[in-house]
Amino acid sequence: MRCPLCHADDTRVIETRTNDDQGTIRRRRECQECRRRFTTYERCEEPQLFVIKKDGRRELFDREKLLLGITRACEKRPVSRDAIEGVVYDIERALRDSLRDEVPSTQIGDLVMRRIRDLDEVAYVRFASVYKEFQDLISFLHEIERLLERARRERLAEEQQTLFDPQESDTAKIPIR
Ligand SMILES: [Zn+2]
């Protein structure tokens, strides 16, 4: 493995860890030339998965590209790197488990939208604005309205649950004189 920092060929593995969840092996390496350390990941090569773009072009599925898109949407938002990696991992898994060799890009976009909505609303709107390529401000606002409406319904449902929870209502009971 060549050192990514000084490009020397003489590097050494100093630590190896397997991540069984994601089927990857992580290796910590040290360059014998500049002594700096770096990390490499190994994963098994999976069968090719193609993405069919809106204009009909076929492109090899690229998890890095997906990761980058979601990371951009989550910039400066309270979403951890792990959470983003988790979304990408789940989506790739779902696509590969479906055992198809090609999948429309719109389907991937929908999967991301669904997951990202639960992570962060701002990130969701950002992603939606890029992915849905809103042609005008009106359609963009409609999407935000839909999002707010959904949040409102969820809050209502939560409140009602609390209201009908017998334990909760017992403690909230006002004494009658
Ligand atoms: Zn080096």
Position 151 in a domain:
no
Same domain, 128 and 80: yes
Looking at residue 28, what is its pLDDT? 95
113: helix, coil or strand?
A: helix
Asked whether residue 72 falls in the same domain as residue 130, the answer is: yes
From the CA of 30, how far away is ligand 1's center (Å)?
Answer: 8
- CA 65 to ligand 1 centroid distance, Å: 28
Any domain includes 13: yes
- The alpha carbon of 42 and the centre of ligand 1 are apart by a number of angstroms equal to 20
Please say if the pLDDT value at position 60 is more than 70. Answer: yes
Q: Is 38 domain-assigned?
A: yes
Q: Does residue 139 sit within a domain?
A: no
pLDDT, residue 100, reads 86
**Domain end point (choices 134, 156, 172):** 134
Q: Which domain holds residue 37?
A: 9-44
- Residues for the chain: how many in total? 177
Q: Are residues 39 and 64 in the same domain?
A: no
Same domain, 54 and 84: yes
The SS3 of residue 115 is helix
Averaged pLDDT for residues 99-127: 88
pTM of this structure: 0.56
Share of the chain above pLDDT 90, in %: 44
pLDDT in tens, 14-59: 999 987 766 789 999 999 999 999 999 888 777 789 999 989 999 9
For residue 11, pLDDT over 90 is answered with yes
Ligand 1 center to 63 CA (angstroms):
28
